[in-house]
Amino acid sequence: GEDVEQSLFLSVREGDSSVINCTYTDSSSTYLYWYKQEPGAGLQLLTYIFSNMDMKQDQRLTVLLNKKDKHLSLRIADTQTGDSAIYFCAEVYPGGFKTIFGAGTRLFVKA
Amino acid sequence: DTGVSQDPRHKITKRGQNVTFRCDPISEHNRLYWYRQTLGQGPEFLTYFQNEAQLEKSRLLSDRFSAERPKGSFSTLEIQRTEQGDSAMYLCASSFSSTFVEQFFGPGTRLTVL
């Protein structure tokens, strides 16, 4: 079936690293996204990883993909209060149009 | 502003009324997507257009829902005989066909059915 699962909440202190986890179900997914949603704002693509990659680093963001376990994680280094938002994991099916989102992880950053 | 725009941003209607939402994608994007997002959930895929052709519809899209993209540019999503369960944020996204498909999302239309 189609399902992307994420833990609902994460709370960290400013300056610490945050790790948001996600599991997905479809092994034929071509790539996986991390989107960020701030209150009153649209979804913003943070980063993505192709399904044939294990890791991708982009400034403070590190994405790890474990294809065997269908597990994806997003690590945010030196988390700032401005990183407080909802983070969505999503998988994209072959063809590049049907995208399945998780329910989102709410990240709270304490000053 | 050259992003995806949606109109209206908010709509309050009574149960049983029809509503129509509009999405204007980024001008050079040939793909357009509609999603629905309820409180505490991620966006749920509803339908997808490539140019003017509607190529995929989710089973979430009941007979009361219809989407069009007549000239391959803007799109409309109509909900007939609205029900309270239709209350949600309706999101539109667009993308350009390429190997990597980044979808750019609009701000959404929040529908409240009383």
pLDDT reported for residue B100: 66
Cβ pair B48:A92 closer than 8 A: no
pLDDT reported for residue B84: 96
Tell me: pLDDT of B108 over 60: yes
Torsion sign across C-alpha atoms B53, A102, A93, A45: positive
Set of chain B residues whose Cβ sits within 8 Å of the Cβ of A4 = 42
| DSSP symbols for B84-112 | GGG-EEEEEEEE--SSS-PPEE---EEEE
Nearest-Cα residue of chain B relative to residue A93: B101
Cβ pair A103:B41 closer than 8 A: yes
Segment A77-88 mean pLDDT: 96
SS3 B40: coil
Between B72 and A57, the more confident residue is A57
| DSSP symbols for A2-69 | --EEE-SEEEEETTS-EEEEEEE--TT--EEEEEEE-TTS-EEEEEEEETT-SEEEETTEEEEEETTT
Structure tokens at A49: 């990883």
Tell me: pLDDT of B1 over 60: no
- Read off the pLDDT band of A97 (50, 70, 90): confident
**How far apart (Å, rounded) are the C-alpha atoms in residues A103 and B113?**
23
Nearest-Cα residue of chain B relative to residue A99: B45
Q: Which of A97, A105, A106 to mutate to test the interface with B (most CBs of B within 10 A)?
A: A97
For A101, the closest of B42, B55, B100 (CB atoms) is B42
Segment A37-64 mean pLDDT: 90
Tell me: pLDDT of A1 over 70: no
User: For B94-104, what is each residue's pLDDT tens digit?
Assistant: 998 765 678 89
pLDDT reported for residue B87: 97
